[in-house]
């Protein structure tokens, strides 16, 4: 039997898109020593105070201070930015000038870059013009800590309430994502208690049988929420999948710093960002 020569062989990779087109990052940071957020923040010790740009916003955008003027450079793609002006948003400026940067694509996703290229504001939600925003909404909902909670799936109204509770309790607006998350977890647990208690009151169950299932449900609820947090910073949501092992234990800010998966210790050859649906389109249509 001989090979048939009538069938033309086609290269297997002829129509196969590159990994980045599929949302898979296989590149390594150009400056891996700054892959961890605290290391990038350390570079801003000599950051000029007169420059009207928040240092933490620059850090979250993956930018490292070079020590010269207001010049910064991305730890991942190596791209440089300078001449900052009041009102500039580091993440947006980074995405505008370096739209293929793996850090931007891992943290924000391709849709974020596409919106910027169309001249749209990617992080601005539609607002009701008839409603007067409060000072808390205006000043603090756009903070990095609040946005991280919203990206974890918490509703903006709940995040606003958590910010209000923190300010009322501490008299300060210097909150972190982990502190807001704790308040949000408590708020949700209180809601769960109310709903579950009402259901139990409506049913004819002995008082002795009420406590155990209620406590079990609340404990399970708290455990599941803790499992969603990044195991490195314990603040942001873990939504980066390591390849090839498939484990998802880190947030986009922490994942590039790891060369091995903390769960199975396999070498990380790539990353892909996971997106969680908060609502079911089929249920909405029904």
Instruction: Give Cβ neighbours of residue 273 (< 8 Å, ≥ 6 apart).
Output: 23, 105, 106, 107, 109, 239, 240, 241, 252
Q: What is the pLDDT of residue 71?
A: 96
Q: What is the pLDDT of residue 216?
A: 67
Q: How far apart are the first and last CA of the chain?
A: 58
**CB-based burial label for 278 (10 Å; 0-12, 13-18, 19+):** exposed
Other beta carbons less than 10 A from residue 178's beta carbon: 15
Residue 36's SS3 state is: coil
Tokens of 49: 């105070």
Tokens of 127: 């607002």
Q: What is the pLDDT of residue 124?
A: 47
pLDDT tens digits, residue range 161-193?
Answer: 888 787 777 766 777 877 877 887 777 766 644
Instruction: Give Cβ neighbours of residue 103 (< 8 Å, ≥ 6 apart).
Output: 29, 61, 62, 74, 75, 76, 77, 94, 252, 256
Q: What is the pLDDT of residue 15?
A: 64
pLDDT tens digits, residue range 126-162?
Answer: 333 333 435 544 457 778 878 877 877 778 888 888 8
Q: What is the pLDDT of residue 12?
A: 53
Residues 254 and 233: beta-carbon distance below 8 Å: yes
The C-alpha atoms of residue 286 and residue 114 are separated, in whole angstroms, by 31
Q: What is the pLDDT of residue 137?
A: 43
The CATH superfamily of 231-276 is: Zinc/RING finger domain, C3HC4 (zinc finger) (3.30.40.10)
Q: What residue ranges in the chain does DSSP mark as E strands? A: 24-25, 63-65, 72-74, 80-81, 240-243, 270-273
Q: What is the pLDDT of residue 56?
A: 92
- What residues of the chain score a pLDDT lower than 70? 1-18, 20-22, 123-139, 171-172, 189-226, 276-286
- Which of 187, 133, 129 has its CA nearest to residue 158? 187
The DSSP bridge pattern shows strands 240-243 and 270-273 to be antiparallel
The C-alpha atoms of residue 178 and residue 236 are separated, in whole angstroms, by 8
Phi–psi pair at 73, nearest 5 degrees: -140, 140
Residues 37 and 254: beta-carbon distance below 8 Å: yes
Domain range list for the chain? 19-117, 137-227, 231-276
CA 53 to centroid of chain Cα atoms: 21
Q: Which CATH number fits domain 19-117: 2.40.30.10, 3.40.50.300, 1.10.1170.10, 1.10.10.10?
A: 1.10.1170.10
Residues 254 and 40: beta-carbon distance below 8 Å: no
Q: What is the pLDDT of residue 127?
A: 35
Q: What is the pLDDT of residue 97?
A: 96
Tokens of 170: 């501490």
Q: What is the CA radius of gyration of the chain?
A: 23
């Amino acid at each position: 039997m001989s090979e048939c020569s009538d069938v033309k062989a086609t290269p297997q990779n002829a129509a196969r898109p590159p990994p980045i087109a599929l949302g898979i990052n296989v590149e390594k940071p150009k400056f891996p020593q700054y892959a961890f957020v605290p290391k990038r923040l350390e570079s801003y010790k000599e950051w000029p105070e007169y420059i009207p740009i928040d240092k933490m916003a620059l850090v979250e955008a993956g930018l490292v201070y070079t020590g010269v003027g207001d010049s910064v450079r991305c730890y991942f793609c190596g791209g440089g930015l300078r001449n900052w002006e009041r009102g500039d948003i580091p993440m947006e400026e980074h995405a505008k000038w370096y739209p293929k940067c793996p850090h931007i694509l891992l943290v924000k996703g391709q849709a974020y870059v596409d919106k910027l290229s169309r001249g749209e504001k990617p992080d601005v939600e539609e607002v009701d013009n008839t409603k007067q925003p409060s000072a808390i909404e205006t000043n603090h909902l756009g903070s990095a800590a609040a946005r991280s909670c919203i990206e974890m799936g918490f509703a903006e109204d709940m995040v606003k309430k958590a910010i209000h509770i923190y300010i009322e309790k501490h008299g300060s607006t210097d909150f972190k994502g982990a502190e807001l998350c704790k308040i949000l977890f408590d708020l949700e647990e209180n809601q769960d208690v109310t709903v579950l208690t009402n259901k139990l009151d409506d049913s004819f169950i002995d008082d002795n049988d009420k406590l155990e299932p209620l406590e079990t449900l609340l404990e399970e609820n708290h455990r599941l929420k803790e499992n969603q947090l990044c195991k490195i910073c314990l603040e942001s949501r873990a939504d980066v999948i390591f390849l090839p092992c498939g484990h998802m234990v880190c947030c986009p800010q922490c994942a590039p710093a790891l060369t091995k998966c903390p769960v199975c210790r396999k070498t990380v050859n790539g990353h892909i960002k996971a997106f969680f649906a908060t609502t079911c389109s089929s249920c909405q249509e029904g």
